[in-house]
Structure 1
Amino acid sequence: MPWSALSDQGQPPSSQADTAAYRLLVLGDSLSAAYGLKQHQGWVSLLQNIWRDDKVPIDVVNAAISGETTDGGLARLPRLLEQHNPSHVLIELGGNDGLQGHPVDKLKANLTQMITLAKASDATVLLQDMQIPTNYGKRYTDMFSQAFDDVAAEQNVVLVPFFLESIALDPSLMQRDKIHPNADAQPQIAEWMNTTLKPLILPAG
């Protein structure tokens, strides 16, 4: 899970974008960067394949980098918005902030600034809920979890449920580090994200 990525090696973002009515920019960390796997095995690539096979008019740009924090995401976002002009942005960041014990107020400020930047570029923002273990105690963990609810409510954006909620509890779906989902888990994540994200991106009807 994202709280492990202290030792992750950064990977360059990979764009799978084609030409479609909608473009989803995934701004994330190791959970979206196919950590420990080939890029094509990761859930983001698999999700793009699902949408292409089903002729869903959504392109995906994977701008996830292992080890990324909200500081890094905020620094990279302006150029990514300019370069890719996404219609939607999924912010899947914050886990590494939590593992490193970053101040929750700073986490919330960074998330808020990213949302503001994305909205200013006319993109719709989806905020990925994140979870961390209780390394820093219950108080910090509770404050961390509440931060995502607060930011989503304050900024009026959709809070997407944590996509490893059940997978993280199944050792057969996790890598040997017991932190990152393995290759077997990726199709499950992709299918879950397909079901969750598609109705949030495509217009009703």
Structure 2
Amino acid sequence: MAFIRYLLLLSVIVSSSVSARTLLVLGDSLSAAYGIRPEQGWVALLETRLQQGYTDIDVVNASISGETTQGGITRLPALIERHQPDWIVLELAANDGLRGMPLALIQRNITQLIELSEQASATPLLVGIRLPPNYGVSYTERFYSLFETLADEYEVSRVPFLLEGVALQQSLMQADGLHPNAKAQAVLLDNVWPYLQPLLGD
């Protein structure tokens, strides 16, 4: 009996070590469920969706409200070491843009985030964002194009615009006009899912 229990325990350990996979979300308030309950956020909804066909994937939400690309660079190495992620969703740069940071600096920072992910053998998913029009056409369009440029250069998948179908819908936005409300979170997940799912494999 003792030998049988040993074999069962060994089977569980081997199975866990082989099947456990981790998806890390590195984002800002848009992924940190700002202004709503954490379980209402799109990342929490993603965890629920993964239970329908990807039960071996654990989701780690390392998003922080107010986070910038530089903050992400600072935190990512430790997150990688701790969680050993297989995929990293990079949802950063909105706060950089809202602060009017130089586009060249934002591009360098996103580049470093992609490279840190790939050096850790994690597959990155780049999440694009648009800025409000009051920042000027030139800056906002060049900011938005950074995501496509880097996705093409590094041949990584890209969500074109996280807030597609949400940003201009007052009923889906919080009073500040910047953050989606609870009703919008399912839309955000649907914007991400078509680009994330192919990366997950079977």
Paired with 1:31 and 1:117, the residues of 2 have a C-alpha distance of 22
Matched-pair contact (CA < 8 Å) for 1:88–1:126: yes
Unaligned ranges ≥5, structure 2: 1-15
| Whole-angstrom CA distance in 1 between matches of 2:156 and 2:22 | 17
The DSSP-based 3-state class of the residue aligned with 2:182 is coil
Amino acid at match of 1:198: Q
In the superposition, relative to structure 1, how do residues 192 and 151 fare at CA in structure 2: closer, same or farther (>3 Å)? closer
Residue in 2 that maps onto 1:198: 197
State the percentage of identical aligned residues.
Answer: 48
Q: Structure 1 residues 53-62 or 69-78, which shifts more?
A: 53-62
Bigger radius of gyration among the two? 2
Query: Could you tell me how far apart the structure 2 residues matched to 1:169 and 1:134 are?
Result: 11
Asked whether the 8 Å contact 1:47–1:191 carries over to 2, the reply is no
**Pairing 1:4-83 to 2, within 5 Å after superposition:** 20-83=19-82
TM-score, length basis structure 1:
0.84
Structure number with greater CO (CA < 8 Å, separation at least 6) is 1
Q: Match for residue 108 of structure 2?
A: 109
Size of the alignment, in residue pairs? 186
1:141 aligned partner: 140
Confirm whether residue 172 of structure 1 aligns to residue 184 of structure 2. no
Equivalent pair of 1:92/1:128 in contact (CA under 8 Å): yes
TM-score by length of 2: 0.85
Give, as a single letter, the amino acid of the residue that structure 1 aligns with 2:110. Answer: L
How far is the alpha carbon of 1:56 from its aligned partner?
4.2
Task: Show the counterpart of 1:120.
Answer: 119
Q: RMSD of the TM alignment (CA)?
A: 1.8
Relative distance call for 1:93 and 1:187 in structure 2 (3 A) is same
| SS across alignment from 2:163 | coil
Larger helix percent: 2
The answer on whether the counterparts of 2:157 and 2:195 sit within 8 Å (CA) in structure 1 is no
Deviation at 1:148?
1.1
SS state at 1:91 partner:
strand
Tell me which moved more, 168-177 or 121-130: 168-177
